[in-house]
Structure formats: C-alpha cells, structure tokens
C-alpha cells in the first residue's frame, strides 16, 4: 500500500489523558500536513511540517497540541490533557518535496473520542 | 479573509444523470484548486485539480470549471453512478511565506445518487 498511513484508526481517551496520532507519508513524500474535521464540516488546517522542521503551525491551538516529523519514523500529532472538544477526525496528508503547489494526498484519518 | 464556500449543501440526482457541484472562493490571489471526494468513514480522495492559468480541465467522467472573474469553481460528474454518492469538497491552496502551503476547505456538498 503506497498511500498515506495513519494509526490508530480509532482512539478513545478520557479527559486529561494524552493522545498520540501517527502518520506515515506516501513513499517519496517529505511534506506532511495535519487537518482536523468536526462532524458535518470541512477540514481545518492545523500544521505543515517537513522533515525535522515545522513550516507553518498557524492552525494549531497554542496549548496542549504539538507536532513533529523526525528524520526517521512517522509524523506525530500529540494532544496533551485532552478535553471533550478535542473529539474529531484528524487527517494527515502528504505531498512531494517541491516549493511549487503540489497535490496533497490524505490518509484514512484517526477518529478521536474523548470521554 | 480566507474562505471557500459551497452554494448547495445537498444534492440528489438520478443514476445516469449528470451532476454539478458549485463552489465559491474569496482569495483572488489563489492559483491552485482541488476537488476531493469523501466517503463515510474515509479520508478525502483526490478527484481533480486545476490551476488558475486554465478555465477547464477534464478527467474521467469529471470536469472542473474555473471562473476567476467571479471566483467560482464547479465540478461536473457525468453519468453518475451509485459509487459517486459521497461528500464533495472544493479546496483552495493558500501559499504563505517561506513556501508554507495549506488547503482551505469548503463545508462540503453531500451528493446522493438515486437508483
């Protein structure tokens, strides 16, 4: 499967716990994007990363949320001390390493439910 | 501000008919647009894209039209099939400083194909 991989597909957490969402980009892609989707809404941009660099985190909440894309391994979106409002589908997308506008291809998403 | 919106939130068509999904965008500087299809429980799937130096682009059974004068996009699906039932999003690629890119999504149109 050469597509974008995300895991877990479903994640249940209690308020106050930590959530870690993982994303492996398509082969050859070194740009990763995270988006959040609430029910019946469009996706909202959170963060854009390249290997070992955060390029744009303008959509990330200032507290409790962080993202990384290490030299080796998947990109991680981390949510600390989750609250019920964090319940959503989180999608990762990847694109080719180009400064031109490249198509973003999406993974299947992680559905986070905070109890 | 940045926003991409859709004129019709729901659309029902008979199988075999053509469908047209519309989208308005507000950022006149945007030059890259993408249509995605999202089935229930899945991530957005790339359908077709268009750059601002084009007015029309055709794929297999799909056509995207871009009217820069009125900042309007449309997606035409020919000879609709049951598998076309999904939510369709238009997205606008926004470029920022230092190569930063992000997609701004509309709310989505739910397309239902009636047998």
Quick one: pLDDT band at residue A100, thresholds 50, 70, 90? low
3-state secondary structure of A86: helix
Q: Does B100 touch chain A (CB under 8 A)?
A: yes
Task: Give the pLDDT of residue A99.
Answer: 62
Read off the pLDDT of each residue in A52-72 and give the average, rounded to a whole number. Answer: 94
Alpha-carbon gap, residue B56 to A103, rounded angstroms: 18
B31 touches chain A (CB under 8 A): yes
Instruction: Identify all chain B residues contacting A102, using CB atoms and an 8 Å cutoff.
Output: 101
How much is the pLDDT for B2?
A: 43
Least confident of A38-47, A72-81, B53-62, B70-79: A38-47
Asked if B63 and B54 count as a contact pair (C-beta separation under 8 A), the reply is: no
Is the per-residue pLDDT at A11 higher than 90?
Answer: yes
Cα four-point dihedral sign B90, B95, B99, B102 = negative
Longest dimension (CA), chain B: 49
What is the maximal distance between C-alpha atoms in chain A? 42
Instruction: Note whether A92 and A106 are within 8 A (CB).
Output: yes
**B11 exposed, middle or buried (CB, 10 Å; 0-12, 13-18, 19+)?**
middle
Q: What is the pLDDT of residues B21-78, one digit of tens each?
A: 999 988 888 889 999 999 999 999 999 999 999 999 999 999 999 999 999 999 999 9
Assign A46 a pLDDT band (cuts: 50, 70, 90).
Answer: very high
The verdict on a CB contact (< 8 Å) between B44 and A43 is: yes
């Amino acid at each position: 499967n050469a597509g974008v991989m995300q895991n877990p597909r479903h994640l249940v957490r209690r308020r106050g716990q930590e959530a870690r969402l993982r994303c492996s980009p398509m082969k050859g892609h070194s740009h990763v994007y995270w988006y959040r989707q609430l029910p019946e809404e469009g996706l909202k941009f959170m963060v854009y990363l390249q290997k070992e660099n955060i390029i744009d985190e303008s959509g990330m909440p200032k507290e409790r949320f962080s993202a990384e894309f290490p030299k080796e391994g998947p990109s991680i979106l981390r949510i600390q001390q989750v609250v019920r409002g964090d319940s959503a589908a989180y999608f990762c997308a990847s694109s080719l390493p180009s400064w031109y506008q490249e198509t973003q291809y999406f993974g299947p998403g992680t559905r986070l439910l905070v109890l | 501000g940045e926003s991409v919106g859709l004129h019709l939130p729901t659309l029902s068509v008979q199988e075999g008919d053509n469908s047209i999904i519309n989208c308005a965008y507000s950022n006149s500087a945007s030059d890259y647009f993408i249509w995605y299809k999202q089935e229930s429980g899945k991530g957005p799937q790339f359908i077709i894209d268009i750059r601002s130096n084009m007015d029309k682009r055709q794929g297999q059974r799909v056509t995207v039209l871009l009217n820069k004068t009125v900042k309007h996009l449309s997606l035409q699906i020919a000879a609709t099939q049951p598998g076309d039932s999904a939510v369709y999003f238009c997205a606008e690629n926004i470029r920022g400083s230092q190569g930063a890119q992000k997609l701004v999504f509309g709310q989505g149109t739910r397309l239902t194909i009636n047998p």
